[in-house]
Amino acid sequence: MKGLFSMVVMVSLFAAPVLSEETATKMIPAGSRVFIAPMEDGFHEYLKAAFQAKQVPLTIVDDNKTAEFEISGHSETQKASTAKKVFLWDWRSNEQASIRVTNVKTSEVVFAYAVNKVSSAHGKKSTAEACAKHVKEKIESRR
């Protein structure tokens, strides 16, 4: 019984740092320096504004050499066609975007998120704010 107990203690002692290291590499600590890479149609600008609006606890830097994390991604806008305006009486655009957050040091993707909004109420602004909201949730989850 004693032997089993000591084995469990030994395993937990060795495994704990490994597990914590694994979760640490996937974490985005609050206050991290983040560089937002240029994206199609200037989506990175909307993303910066959304980070501000949603009060995401990150420091956005303009130089990727000083950054700890890099956000890159893709954005696509499908403006309402004449058919949509005439038949569906809808002027709003369809928006989709996808981002990934990469740890610059390890080159590992620590977070990724995709959003698709049909007839987006505020166009790119809505998708950017959705991305910002989920980045904030990731930071606050500390996982």
Partner 1 sequence: MKTTKAVAKLVLLLFLFVIAHSVRAQVPAGVPQQNVAPPTPIITNESLPRGARLYVAPIQNGFETYIIAGIEKKKVPVVVVTDRDKADYELTGVSETDKAGWAKMLFFGSQQTNETASIKVVNLTTSNVVFAYSVNKMNSVRGKQSAGEAVAKHINEKIENRYH
| Residue 87 within binding range of partner 1, rule CB under 8 A | yes
Beta bridge partners of 102: 70, 109
For partner 1, the closer CB: 3 or 82: 82
Query: Of the ranges 4-12, 46-54, 57-65, 78-86, which one interacts with partner 1 (CB under 8 A)?
Result: 78-86
What type of residue is 132?
A
d(CA 29, CA 13): 25
Sheet of 69-78: strands edge to edge?
Answer: 59-61, 33-36, 69-78, 94-103
Dihedrals phi, psi of 137, to nearest 5 degrees: -60, -40
d(CA 102, CA 108): 6
For partner 1, the closer CB: 4 or 83: 83
Dihedrals phi, psi of 31, to nearest 5 degrees: 85, 5
| Residue 45 within binding range of partner 1, rule CB under 8 A | no
For partner 1, the closer CB: 55 or 107: 107
* Cα of 8 vs its chain's centroid, Å: 37
Which listed residue (24, 52, 81, 142) binds partner 1 by CB under 8 A?
81
Per-residue binding string, partner 1, 104-143, x by CB under 8 A, is --xxxx-xxxxxx-x-------------------------
For partner 1, the closer CB: 60 or 114: 114
Considering only residues 54 through 73, tell me which ones interact with partner 1, judged by CB under 8 A: 72-73
